[in-house]
Amino acid sequence: MTLPAPTGIAQMGVGAFLGALAARAPAPGGGAAACVAGAVAAAQAEMVVAYSLGKRNLAEHQPRLESARAALAATRTVLLELADEDASAYAELNRLQKLPEGDPARRGEPAAMRRCAEIPAAALAACVNMLRLLADLPGITNRLLRSDLAIAATLADASAGACGWNVRINVSFASGQDWATGIGTEATRELKVAADLAAGVQRACSV
């Protein structure tokens, strides 16, 4: 079972995506799963904002909440697009790696490997930016939804961590190359930032 190219992950039902993920096929795989988890985090946070907009006791925060809603919706879209890109990139790498050693097309393998590292790195950065946004929400959103906001932060951190694993495995196949070192170093830094931000949101939501 393979990912249906004309529709993409965003148009698949949850069950269909999970079925494709569970199948013995190279894509969608862990990279797509990591991105979808991040998109779920963004949607969860959007719900918190939706229940905060229009509340009289939060009237002074409405402009910030409107901005947050737009940013979260954009993040959700970006992460679903990256899920598709990851599935496509890994499918292409898998295709190249199955070619005979002397096939000229295998010269494209290093570029395909780099793409497989760059996509989860971009998703990791999107998760960190989302967590920065979530860090501003505990004091300006509906207090009754603090557990939902904490869940959004938890899922965003999990997505960041999953993206980090995909970065690490792909740069490990290109060790010694400058691009691999740079992507790997930045991912390590951003994973620490993500964990700290998520912990901060969770603390703020627990009071």
Please tell me whether the overall predicted TM-score, pTM, comes out greater than 0.85 for this model.
Answer: yes
How is residue 9 written in tokens?
Answer: 């992950």
How crowded is residue 141: how many other Cβ atoms within 10 Å of its Cβ? 27
> Where in the chain are the domains?
9-206
CA–CA–CA angle 88, 71, 21 (5° rounding): 30
**Positions in the chain short of pLDDT 50:** 1-6
Topology of the domain comprising 9-206: Four Helix Bundle (Hemerythrin (Met), subunit A) (1.20.120)
pLDDT for 201: 98
pLDDT for 84: 94
pLDDT for 4: 38
pLDDT for 2: 42
